[in-house]
Amino acid sequence: MNTIMQLQDSGDAMPCQAALTTLVETQHSQCLMCGPANPAGLKLKFKVQADGSVLAAFPCRQALQSYPNTLHGGIVAALLDSAMTNALFAIGVVAVTAELTVRYQAPVNPERVVVLRAGLEKPPLHPLYYVQASLEQDGQSMARASAKFLVKENP
């Protein structure tokens, strides 16, 4: 049994930067949000934190706005979804979003950096994983999300 499947089956794997990096490179290299090989991608780089969550900073850009001085809501949702996907990668889990709930708390300024953080919300009920994420700007919570992820068959 390979390491990824062992982590998926254990349900209590410790987050690991090596697992996250390997899965981004092998399973998500062309991802619009975090794929290192996508020339048009945002190239988010998540790092595993001491508490087991993952964290990334993203310098927003005007090209991603909707209303004046407001980051597009779809981009906010995609950033949060990517953070949660990478939280699962950190425990060796390859999964797809089955359900996503986003709570927008304040407009995000497209000229400022945002910080994304994500981690498991509660223990998994294999094949479902419950994950949560937040997006902060200048120390203020701007949006948060929770999602159910379904383990992807044959990663």
Confidence of residue 4 (pLDDT cuts 50, 70, 90): very low
- C-alpha to C-alpha distance for 91 and 23, rounded to whole angstroms: 10
Burial class for 155, CB neighbours closer than 10 Å (0-12, 13-18, 19+)? middle
Percentage of the chain lying above the pLDDT 90 cut: 88
| pLDDT score recorded for residue 152 | 84
The full set of domains in the chain, from first to last, is: 3-151 (3.10.129.10)
Cβ 61 vs Cβ 112: under 8 Å = no
Tokens 């697992």, residue located: 19
* φ, ψ (nearest 5 deg) of residue 16: -145, 130
* Helix orientation angle between 3-10 and 17-27, rounded to the nearest 10 degrees: 120
Tokens 């094949």, residue located: 127
| pLDDT score recorded for residue 46 | 98
Specify the length of the chain in residues: 155
| CA–centroid distance for 120 within its chain | 11
- C-alpha to C-alpha distance for 52 and 19, rounded to whole angstroms: 13
pTM, 2 dp: 0.90
Q: Is the pLDDT of residue 3 over 50?
A: no
* pLDDT tens digits, 106-155: 999 999 999 999 999 999 998 999 999 999 999 999 999 999 999 987 65
